[in-house]
Protein backbone atom coordinates (compact mmCIF):
# COMPACT_ATOMS: atom_id res chain seq x y z
CA UNK A 1 0.00 0.00 0.00
CA UNK A 2 1.27 3.48 -0.90
CA UNK A 3 0.15 6.61 0.92
CA UNK A 4 -0.71 9.50 -1.41
CA UNK A 5 -2.22 12.11 0.87
CA UNK A 6 -3.74 12.55 4.33
CA UNK A 7 -5.79 15.06 6.25
CA UNK A 8 -7.19 15.66 9.73
CA UNK A 9 -10.96 15.14 9.88
CA UNK A 10 -12.13 15.56 13.47
CA UNK A 11 -11.58 15.13 17.21
CA UNK A 12 -14.19 13.73 19.58
CA UNK A 13 -14.46 13.50 23.38
CA UNK A 14 -17.53 11.29 23.12
CA UNK A 15 -18.22 8.43 20.75
CA UNK A 16 -21.51 10.02 19.74
CA UNK A 17 -19.64 13.16 18.61
CA UNK A 18 -17.85 11.19 15.87
CA UNK A 19 -19.37 11.50 12.43
CA UNK A 20 -19.96 8.27 10.58
CA UNK A 21 -17.57 7.26 7.85
CA UNK A 22 -17.79 4.66 5.12
CA UNK A 23 -14.01 4.19 4.85
CA UNK A 24 -12.33 1.20 6.52
CA UNK A 25 -10.71 2.45 9.74
CA UNK A 26 -7.52 1.38 11.50
CA UNK A 27 -7.12 2.54 15.12
CA UNK A 28 -3.86 3.11 17.00
CA UNK A 29 -3.94 2.26 20.71
CA UNK A 30 -1.33 2.16 23.46
CA UNK A 31 0.09 3.84 26.56
CA UNK A 32 0.48 7.60 26.69
CA UNK A 33 3.80 8.67 25.21
CA UNK A 34 4.55 5.27 23.65
CA UNK A 35 4.77 6.76 20.14
CA UNK A 36 1.27 6.45 18.61
CA UNK A 37 1.25 9.88 17.00
CA UNK A 38 4.84 9.45 15.78
CA UNK A 39 3.89 6.13 14.16
CA UNK A 40 0.92 7.75 12.38
CA UNK A 41 3.07 10.65 11.17
CA UNK A 42 5.78 8.28 9.90
CA UNK A 43 3.27 6.07 8.07
CA UNK A 44 1.72 9.15 6.45
CA UNK A 45 5.07 10.88 5.83
CA UNK A 46 3.82 13.96 7.64
CA UNK A 47 5.83 15.87 10.24
CA UNK A 48 3.09 16.91 12.60
CA UNK A 49 -0.30 15.80 11.35
CA UNK A 50 -1.14 13.65 14.38
CA UNK A 51 -0.21 16.49 16.74
CA UNK A 52 -2.39 19.10 15.03
CA UNK A 53 -5.40 18.26 17.15
CA UNK A 54 -3.25 17.87 20.26
CA UNK A 55 -4.04 21.25 21.70
CA UNK A 56 -3.62 21.41 25.49
CA UNK A 57 -6.64 19.82 27.13
CA UNK A 58 -7.58 18.01 23.94
CA UNK A 59 -5.45 14.97 24.51
CA UNK A 60 -8.37 12.82 25.71
CA UNK A 61 -9.97 12.80 22.29
CA UNK A 62 -10.18 10.34 19.43
CA UNK A 63 -8.63 11.97 16.38
CA UNK A 64 -9.61 10.83 12.89
CA UNK A 65 -7.43 11.21 9.79
CA UNK A 66 -8.46 10.42 6.24
CA UNK A 67 -5.80 8.73 4.13
CA UNK A 68 -5.78 8.54 0.33
CA UNK A 69 -3.78 5.54 -0.74
CA UNK A 70 -3.01 3.27 -3.63
CA UNK A 71 -3.36 -0.52 -3.63
CA UNK A 72 -1.52 -1.69 -6.75
CA UNK A 73 -3.13 0.69 -9.25
CA UNK A 74 -6.39 1.26 -7.42
CA UNK A 75 -6.93 4.44 -5.41
CA UNK A 76 -8.82 4.06 -2.12
CA UNK A 77 -9.56 6.00 1.03
CA UNK A 78 -9.14 4.67 4.55
CA UNK A 79 -9.15 6.29 8.00
CA UNK A 80 -6.62 6.26 10.81
CA UNK A 81 -7.90 6.83 14.36
CA UNK A 82 -5.42 8.09 16.98
CA UNK A 83 -6.93 6.92 20.30
CA UNK A 84 -6.17 8.62 23.63
CA UNK A 85 -3.40 6.81 25.52
CA UNK A 86 -3.93 4.77 28.66
CA UNK A 87 -1.83 4.34 31.77
CA UNK A 88 -0.84 7.94 32.36
CA UNK A 89 -0.16 8.02 36.12
CA UNK A 90 -1.24 11.61 36.74
CA UNK A 91 -4.82 11.37 35.53
CA UNK A 92 -7.77 11.18 37.91
CA UNK A 93 -10.01 8.15 38.36
CA UNK A 94 -12.79 10.15 36.72
CA UNK A 95 -10.72 10.80 33.58
CA UNK A 96 -9.64 7.16 33.50
CA UNK A 97 -13.29 6.09 33.69
CA UNK A 98 -14.19 8.48 30.85
CA UNK A 99 -11.34 6.98 28.79
CA UNK A 100 -12.68 3.45 29.31
CA UNK A 101 -16.17 4.46 28.24
CA UNK A 102 -14.89 6.32 25.17
CA UNK A 103 -12.69 3.43 24.01
CA UNK A 104 -15.24 0.74 24.83
CA UNK A 105 -17.94 2.61 22.91
CA UNK A 106 -15.52 3.14 20.05
CA UNK A 107 -14.37 -0.49 19.76
CA UNK A 108 -17.83 -1.97 20.15
CA UNK A 109 -19.85 0.55 18.10
CA UNK A 110 -17.64 2.00 15.38
CA UNK A 111 -19.08 0.31 12.30
CA UNK A 112 -16.12 0.89 9.96
CA UNK A 113 -13.41 -0.14 12.48
CA UNK A 114 -11.66 -3.11 10.88
CA UNK A 115 -8.45 -3.45 12.87
CA UNK A 116 -6.32 -2.08 15.70
CA UNK A 117 -2.60 -1.50 15.96
CA UNK A 118 -1.47 -1.97 19.56
CA UNK A 119 1.74 -0.06 20.23
CA UNK A 120 4.17 -0.92 23.03
CA UNK A 121 7.71 0.20 23.87
CA UNK A 122 10.13 -2.42 22.56
CA UNK A 123 12.48 -1.83 25.50
CA UNK A 124 9.91 -2.68 28.16
CA UNK A 125 8.07 -5.81 29.14
CA UNK A 126 4.36 -5.85 28.45
CA UNK A 127 2.45 -4.62 31.49
CA UNK A 128 -1.01 -5.36 32.80
CA UNK A 129 -2.63 -2.50 30.90
CA UNK A 130 -1.11 -3.63 27.56
CA UNK A 131 -2.28 -7.22 28.07
CA UNK A 132 -5.73 -5.93 29.06
CA UNK A 133 -5.84 -3.91 25.83
CA UNK A 134 -4.98 -7.00 23.78
CA UNK A 135 -7.64 -9.09 25.54
CA UNK A 136 -10.14 -6.31 25.04
CA UNK A 137 -9.42 -6.20 21.30
CA UNK A 138 -9.69 -10.00 21.10
CA UNK A 139 -12.98 -10.03 23.02
CA UNK A 140 -14.43 -7.67 20.42
CA UNK A 141 -13.11 -10.03 17.72
CA UNK A 142 -11.14 -7.30 16.00
CA UNK A 143 -8.03 -7.84 13.89
CA UNK A 144 -4.87 -6.74 15.71
CA UNK A 145 -1.25 -5.95 14.89
CA UNK A 146 1.27 -5.58 17.73
CA UNK A 147 3.89 -2.89 17.03
CA UNK A 148 6.77 -2.59 19.49
CA UNK A 149 8.24 0.84 18.78
CA UNK A 150 11.41 2.85 19.54
CA UNK A 151 13.47 0.01 18.00
CA UNK A 152 16.27 2.53 17.34
CA UNK A 153 17.04 2.46 21.07
CA UNK A 154 18.21 -1.18 20.91
CA UNK A 155 20.72 -3.09 18.81
CA UNK A 156 19.32 -5.41 16.12
CA UNK A 157 20.05 -8.52 18.19
CA UNK A 158 18.60 -7.03 21.40
CA UNK A 159 15.50 -6.01 19.43
CA UNK A 160 15.05 -9.55 18.07
CA UNK A 161 15.28 -11.01 21.60
CA UNK A 162 12.77 -8.47 22.94
CA UNK A 163 10.32 -9.21 20.10
CA UNK A 164 10.43 -12.92 20.92
CA UNK A 165 9.81 -12.13 24.60
CA UNK A 166 6.85 -9.89 23.77
CA UNK A 167 5.33 -12.64 21.60
CA UNK A 168 5.41 -14.94 24.63
CA UNK A 169 4.17 -12.32 27.08
CA UNK A 170 1.20 -11.41 24.90
CA UNK A 171 0.41 -15.08 24.18
CA UNK A 172 -0.09 -14.02 20.57
CA UNK A 173 -2.38 -16.20 18.50
CA UNK A 174 -1.13 -17.43 15.11
CA UNK A 175 -3.19 -14.77 13.33
CA UNK A 176 -1.61 -11.98 15.37
CA UNK A 177 1.42 -10.42 13.71
CA UNK A 178 4.16 -8.42 15.41
CA UNK A 179 6.28 -5.82 13.57
CA UNK A 180 9.13 -3.90 15.22
CA UNK A 181 9.16 -0.20 14.36
CA UNK A 182 11.05 3.05 14.82
CA UNK A 183 9.90 6.53 13.85
CA UNK A 184 13.57 7.57 13.85
CA UNK A 185 14.96 4.92 11.47
CA UNK A 186 11.53 4.17 9.88
CA UNK A 187 12.25 0.47 10.15
CA UNK A 188 9.00 -1.52 9.91
CA UNK A 189 7.09 1.21 8.01
CA UNK A 190 6.64 -0.76 4.78
CA UNK A 191 5.59 -3.94 6.61
CA UNK A 192 2.98 -2.08 8.68
CA UNK A 193 1.54 -0.43 5.55
CA UNK A 194 1.44 -3.87 3.92
CA UNK A 195 -0.51 -5.28 6.91
CA UNK A 196 -2.98 -2.39 6.67
CA UNK A 197 -3.29 -2.85 2.89
CA UNK A 198 -3.93 -6.59 3.19
CA UNK A 199 -6.52 -6.12 5.90
CA UNK A 200 -8.32 -3.43 3.90
CA UNK A 201 -8.36 -5.73 0.84
CA UNK A 202 -9.87 -8.56 2.93
CA UNK A 203 -12.55 -6.17 4.18
CA UNK A 204 -13.34 -5.07 0.62
CA UNK A 205 -13.64 -8.72 -0.51
CA UNK A 206 -15.93 -9.46 2.42
CA UNK A 207 -13.47 -11.96 3.95
CA UNK A 208 -13.15 -9.85 7.11
CA UNK A 209 -16.08 -7.95 8.56
CA UNK A 210 -15.66 -4.76 10.54
Ligand X SMILES: Nc1nc2c(ncn2[C@@H]2O[C@H](COP(=O)(O)OP(=O)(O)O)[C@@H](O)[C@H]2O)c(=O)[nH]1
Q: Report the nearest approach of ligand X to the CB of residue 201 (Å).
A: 27
Residues 6+ apart with CB under 8 A from 78: 23, 24, 25, 26, 66, 67, 69, 196, 200
Residues 17-36 that bind ligand X (CB under 6 A): 30, 32-36
DSSP three-state, residue 22: coil
Name the segment binding ligand X (CB under 6 A); options: 64-72, 177-185, 191-199, 200-208: 177-185
Contact 156, 136 (CB under 8 A): no
Which of residues 51 and 71 has its CB atom nearest to ligand X in the complex?
51
Residue length, the chain? 210
Name the segment binding ligand X (CB under 6 A); options: 9-17, 18-26, 106-114, 176-184: 176-184
Q: Is position 182 an interface residue for ligand X (rule: CB under 6 A)?
A: yes
Residues 14-53 that bind Mg ion (CB under 5 A): 36-37
The angle formed by the CA atoms of residues 107, 111 and 113, to the nearest 5 degrees, is 55
Question: What residue number has its CB nearest to ligand X?
Answer: 35
Given ligand X, Mg ion, none, residue 33, with its beta carbon under 5 to 8 Å by kind, binds: ligand X
Annotate each residue in 79-118 with x if it binds ligand X (CB under 6 A) or - if it does not, as one string.
------x---------------------------------
Distance between CA 149 and CA 184 in Å, rounded? 10
Distance between CA 184 and CA 106 in Å, rounded? 30
Given ligand X, Mg ion, none, residue 63, with its beta carbon under 5 to 8 Å by kind, binds: none
Q: What is the dihedral of CA 139, 199, 4, 110, to 10 degrees?
A: -30
Q: Report the nearest approach of ligand X to the CB of residue 115 (Å).
A: 18
Distance between CA 193 and CA 60 in Å, rounded? 26
Helices (H) and strands (E) in the chain, counts: 5, 7
Strand partners, 177: 145
Q: Report the nearest approach of ligand X to the CB of residue 140 (Å).
A: 21
CA-closest candidate to residue 69, choices 194, 178, 186, 185: 194
Annotate each residue in 144-163 with x if it binds ligand X (CB under 6 A) or - if it does not, as one string.
-----xx-xx----------
Which of residues 90 and 141 has its CB atom nearest to Mg ion in the complex?
90
Q: Give the interface with ligand X as residue ranges (CB under 6 A).
A: 30, 32-38, 85, 149-150, 152-153, 182-184
Q: Give the interface with Mg ion as residue ranges (CB under 5 A).
A: 36-37
Amino acid sequence: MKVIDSKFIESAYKFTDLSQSEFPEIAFIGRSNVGKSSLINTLLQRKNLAQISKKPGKTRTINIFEVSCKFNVQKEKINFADLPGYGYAKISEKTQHAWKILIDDYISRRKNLCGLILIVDLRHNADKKDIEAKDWIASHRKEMLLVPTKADKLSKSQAAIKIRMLKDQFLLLPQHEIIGFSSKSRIGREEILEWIGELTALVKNGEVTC
